[in-house]
């Protein structure tokens, strides 16, 4: 994903199109049958490996995407943005 992000940023940058990618960490979603959302032991295990001490919520990933899409980050392109609560530090 990082290579594609950078390649597309170079190719589409002259058209004013910014390309970035989001790398989400452990997030309580419906993925995998909602295991991370519904299993307290799994959440606790994963939370122990994040700097913030918890798993993320879907809206926290959405906030990062919205920020990247906003004009406030108009000078950001070709980046992989880690949205993980500091997982695996």
The whole-number pLDDT of residue 32 equals 87
Going from the first residue of the chain to its last (89 residues), give the mean pLDDT of each consecutive group of 10, the final group possibly shorter. Answer: 97 98 96 91 95 97 97 97 94
Yes or no: domain 2-83 corresponds to CATH 3.40.50.720: yes
Q: Residue 8: which residues within 8 A CB-CB, separation 6 or more?
A: 19
Element (H, E) at 22: strand 20-24
Burial of 8 (0-12, 13-18, 19+ CB in 10 A): middle
The whole-number pLDDT of residue 53 equals 97
- The domain ranges of the chain are 2-83
């Amino acid at each position: 994903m990082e290579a594609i992000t950078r390649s597309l940023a170079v190719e589409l940058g002259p058209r004013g199109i910014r390309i970035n990618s989001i790398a989400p960490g452990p997030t309580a979603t419906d993925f995998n049958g909602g295991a991370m959302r519904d299993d307290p032991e799994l959440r606790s295990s994963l939370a122990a490996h994040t700097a913030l001490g918890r798993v993320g919520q879907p809206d926290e990933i959405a906030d990062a995407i919205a920020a990247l899409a906003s004009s406030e980050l108009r000078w950001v392109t070709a980046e992989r943005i880690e949205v993980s609560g500091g997982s695996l530090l």
